[in-house]
Amino acid sequence: MRKNWPAWSGYAAASWSLAYGVLGIFWAAGGADYPFAKVDEDHSTGSLLEGAPVDIVAPAMAVLGLTGAVVAVVMTRRQPRGWLLQAFAGVLAVGLALVIPDYTLLAIVALSPALVVFAFTGVPGEQGGVGDILYWHRVNLVLMFVGGLLWAATALAYHRRARQACISCGRSEQPDRAWTTPSAALRWGRWAVAAAVVANLPYEFTRVAWYFGWPLGITDEFHRMMADTPGMLEIGLAMALMGVGGSVLTHGLVHRWGEVYPRWIWFKAGQRVPPSRAIVPASVVALVLIPAGLMNLRMPFEPDNWALTAPGALAIVWGAALGAATYAYYLRRRTTCRRCGRGSAPGSVLTSRSGAPAGRSSGSRAGSPRAGSPATAPRRSRTRSVRSARAGTRPAAAPPTSG
């Protein structure tokens, strides 16, 4: 399934678009459960479309959905031509995955272990259950995010086909650009890691300060309100500590222990870290950070309570930098493509304690040609010539080519 994503992602994007196109018609005709309708404050979201009138948004959803269903099929089945379809898919991907959602996705990722427990034990406090947390307005934003990812995959596959590159790895006959080499990726990847760590420091520092009684960036009245609300300061502290933990893990994208398990993970020490084990979670976190940051950027700025929104808005920088660091890690760890055969051994410039590149098996020797590779052909030809000479014969001539 992972290997064939360029094919099924286009059809999945078409199915998703068709479903929302039909729903757009339904809501335009007065159907119930329009997901951006005005609701009470406890069940509203921070989406860009929250409270948008149904008579404008629903017809637009119908048109974009039905059009998108056709476009996604065309992009998957037809030969790429021009940039118009790529632009259409790219705009849909960015809008659905990054612009329309709010902090819901980040909250789900951060609180996913607790949500699993709450599904069996119930939600503490006055909430009636998980349904009071994941209600339709929020679930719709998750579905919008999924649709954005499908359109991003469709656009990427189409773009690679237009470049006549491998649809799986993106490599082509052209030589790799200088900034994509392992050594270059390590250099700018370190800057990306530093930017990701620094961008989250204001959020971590303010939430820890609030927990210990210092109303940094907020009024005394607001701090007193939070202190009087059970669990509010504790949740802020927990989120800050999770951010610190995430910053520590981010360093693994440019350090040896991100490629080979360190000693303190005793049951895996010395073993190779599968690249997907770092790339997948880091990519998810990078993507969900950006909508949360954009939501904070849209909120009214209060100078007396600047710490409520300003540190959260920096999540845009945090997500973008984390995404760049993750891509640099991918460039260093990628191997030979199974579809096109391009590439070589893991390209990481970080080495193990033995001096061999991290991730390379001990049974292979660096620089030795593989059987069947072009480097072995001359040696075999010379061997045949020597044997023929010893036998008093000449090697067979190459068959004549047609003029």
234, 207 contact by CB (below 8 A): no
Q: How far is CA 397 from CA 215, 330, 385, 393, in A?
A: 88, 47, 11, 12
Residue spans of the domains in the chain: they are: 5-162, 179-333
- The predicted pLDDT at position 336 comes to 87
One-letter amino acid of 203: Y
DSSP assignment of 262-297, as one string? -TTSTTTTTSBPPHHHHHHHHHHHHHHHHHHHHHHH
- The predicted pLDDT at position 187 comes to 97
pLDDT, tens digit, 9 for 90 and up, residues 259-296: 999 998 889 999 999 999 999 999 999 999 999 999 99
- The predicted pLDDT at position 401 comes to 36
- Beta bridge partner(s), residue 197: none
Structure-block tokens of residue 81: 């031509």
182, 332 contact by CB (below 8 A): yes
CA–CA distance, 45 with 37 (Å, rounded to integer): 10
- What does the DSSP 8-state code read for residue 300? P
One-letter amino acid of 209: A
Nearest alpha carbon to residue 170 among 183, 185, 155: 155
CA–CA distance, 154 with 90 (Å, rounded to integer): 9
110, 242 contact by CB (below 8 A): yes
pLDDT, tens digit, 9 for 90 and up, residues 14-64: 999 999 999 999 999 999 999 999 998 878 899 999 999 999 999 999 999
- The predicted pLDDT at position 118 comes to 63
Mapping DSSP to helix (H, G, I), strand (E, B) and coil, where does residue 99 land?
A: helix
Q: What is the pTM of this model?
A: 0.82
CA–CA distance, 34 with 57 (Å, rounded to integer): 10
Mapping DSSP to helix (H, G, I), strand (E, B) and coil, where does residue 185 land?
A: helix
- What does the DSSP 8-state code read for residue 98? I
The parts of the chain modelled with pLDDT lower than 50 are 351-403
- The predicted pLDDT at position 41 comes to 84
Structure-block tokens of residue 177: 């650009």
CA–CA distance, 46 with 33 (Å, rounded to integer): 18
- Beta-carbon contacts of 336 under 8 Å, excluding residues fewer than 6 positions away, are 342, 343, 344, 345
- Beta bridge partner(s), residue 357: 351
